Amino acid sequence: MREKILFITGSINQTSQMHEISKHLREYDCWFSQLFPDTVFLKAVLKLTPLADGTVLAPHFKIKSESYLRQYGLKIDYEGNKNKYDLVVFCTDMVVAEKFKQTKSIWVQEGMIDKRTVLTDLVKTLGLPPYFSGDTSLNGSTNVCDIYCVASQGYKNYFSKYGTDPAKLIVTGIPNYDNQRQFLNNDFPFHNYVMVATTDMRETYRFENRPSFIKRAVKIAAGRQMLFKLHPNERVDRAEAEIKKYAPAGTLIYNCGNTNHMIANCSELITQYSTVVYTGIALGKKVHSYFDIEELKRLAPIQNGGISAKNIARICNSYIKFAGKKEDFLGQFTLQPEALKYLEMQYA
């Protein structure tokens, strides 16, 4: 019998990352499940309120994720009830089902972590479930998984500072953000514009003054051609109406398309709380963000030529085969030298 791995999915980005990792684990029986509510409280929130509509627990995220999985012929086990698993690979450690607490587990960073707030610190101080923060600010900081695969040394320091055992943190890079130079070769028809990448704050019940943000972007553009790329979760009609009202005539608006190609062709990138700012940084663009830019540069995912999924798969493979105690694994594990070639591949 082949050992079984369950990959927990979420957004399409998280789902595609898990798929990429699984491609390097073909000797195992790989299954996939959308993140699911595991407590009576979470199930009630999901069923009776709109509070989870902007999170990957919401049904529309499950529909998109499972559509992707079926497209690639991947096996689905929603809630992980079909098999007994040897390893669970998580896209978030903010919701971890009780039945997996004794199973070997690995957490994979997806991208940017939401900015910490007063509520974040209150939830942490009171020992409440991390999802009470209402955002992803505690993702990666709960210390509940056995191993944490992170984007960079900067993020290793960040997660260690906020609660995860540094011995558990391994800098692997993260799929989808580890080879941004590839996007320079594209057929997107426009060039040399100021690009604005918006965020789904309103759809996830956070305050945003969108008119003010658009006006700020217009000021930065200073008469140059502008292009807005909307977040996939946004209400398109509302966002387009606001852009047409406050941005100059002729401003380009996209609600779909390859965001990375658009960034590769822009002259300057304006973001709010979007992970795509890291694409801009990797490609040497001038970037703007609600986060501190120098801090973002320290946190930026390593550029390793696209081997992050393979790095993470190596850890999965070694951990499954390790027969000792879980806490002893990290004391003897190291990534092979070829997996560390990112040290020689940083962008100028």
pLDDT digits over 34-60, tens only? 999 989 999 998 888 887 887 899 899
Q: What pLDDT is recorded for position 338?
A: 52
Q: Distance (Å, rounded) from C-alpha 6 to C-alpha 108?
A: 13
Instruction: Say yes or no: 165 and 34 in one domain.
Output: yes
Backbone angles phi, psi at 196, to 5 degrees: -120, 120
Q: What is the pLDDT of residue 347?
A: 38
Question: What pLDDT is recorded for position 50?
Answer: 82
Q: How far is CA 233 from CA 11, 268, 292, 294, in A?
A: 10, 23, 24, 28
**Is 127 in the same domain as 171?**
yes
Same structural domain, 28 and 169: yes
The CATH number of residue 246's host domain is: 3.40.50.2000
Buried b / exposed e over 27-64, threshold 16 CB at 10 Å, is ebbbbbbbbbbbeeebeebbeeeeebbbbbbbeebbeb
Instruction: List, in order, residues 6 or more apart from 35 with CB less than 8 Å away.
Output: 8, 9, 10, 56, 57, 91, 92, 95
Indicate the residue type of 40.
Answer: V
For 162-207, how does the pLDDT look when each residue is reduced to its tens digit (9 = 90+)? 999 999 999 999 999 999 999 999 999 999 999 999 988 777 767 8
Residue 337 binned pLDDT confidence (cut-offs 50, 70, 90): low
Q: Is 187 helix (H, G, I), strand (E, B) or coil?
A: coil
Structure tokens at 331: 């004391």
Residues 166 and 186 in one domain: no
Reported confidence tier of residue 346, pLDDT bands at 50, 70, 90 = very low
Q: Where would I find the beta strands (DSSP E) of the chain?
A: 4-9, 29-34, 87-90, 104-108, 147-150, 169-171, 194-197, 226-229, 252-254, 268-271, 286-288
Is 285 in the same domain as 338? no
Query: Do 168 and 202 belong together in one domain?
Result: no
Cβ atoms within 10 Å of 341's Cβ, excluding its own? 11
Of 175, 176, 143, nearest to 160 by C-alpha is: 143
What was the pLDDT predicted at 55? 86
Confidence of residue 336 (pLDDT cuts 50, 70, 90): low
Paired strand residues for 8 = 33
Task: Examine the domain organization and report whether 246 and 325 are in the same domain.
Answer: no
Domain with 336, as residue range(s), is 4-178+303-344
Residues 244, 223: Cα–Cα separation, whole Å: 15
Residue for token pair 């595991």: 38
Q: What band does 212 get if pLDDT is binned at 50, 70 and 90?
A: very high
Specify which residues 170 forms β-bridges with. 149
**d(Cα 214, Cα 237) in Å, to the nearest integer?**
16
Q: Could you give the number of structural domains in the chain?
A: 2
Read off the amino acid at residue 131: Y
Percent of the chain with pLDDT over 70: 96
Calculate the alpha carbon distances from 101 to 87, 145, 148, 169, 323 in Å.
Answer: 11, 8, 15, 18, 18
Task: State both tokens at 198.
Answer: 């918006």
Long-range CB contacts for residues 330-336, cutoff 8 Å, separation at least 24? 330/147, 330/167, 330/168, 330/170, 331/167, 335/170, 335/172, 335/311
What pLDDT digit, counting tens, does each position of 79-99 carry?
999 999 999 999 999 999 999
What confidence tier does 234 reach under pLDDT thresholds 50, 70, 90? confident
Statement: residue 273 has pLDDT above 90: no
Interval 116-146: pLDDT, tens: 999 999 999 999 999 999 889 999 999 999 9
Residue 11 makes CB contacts below 8 A (sequence gap 6+) with 56, 61, 65, 110
| 75 and 93 share one domain | yes
Same domain, 204 and 295: yes
Same domain, 211 and 253: yes
Q: Do 232 and 111 belong together in one domain?
A: no
- Domain shared by 160 and 214, yes or no: no
List, in sequence order, every residue forming a beta bridge with 34; answer none if it has no partner. Answer: 9
For residue 58, give the CATH number of its domain. Answer: 3.40.50
Cβ contact 312:21 at 8 Å: yes
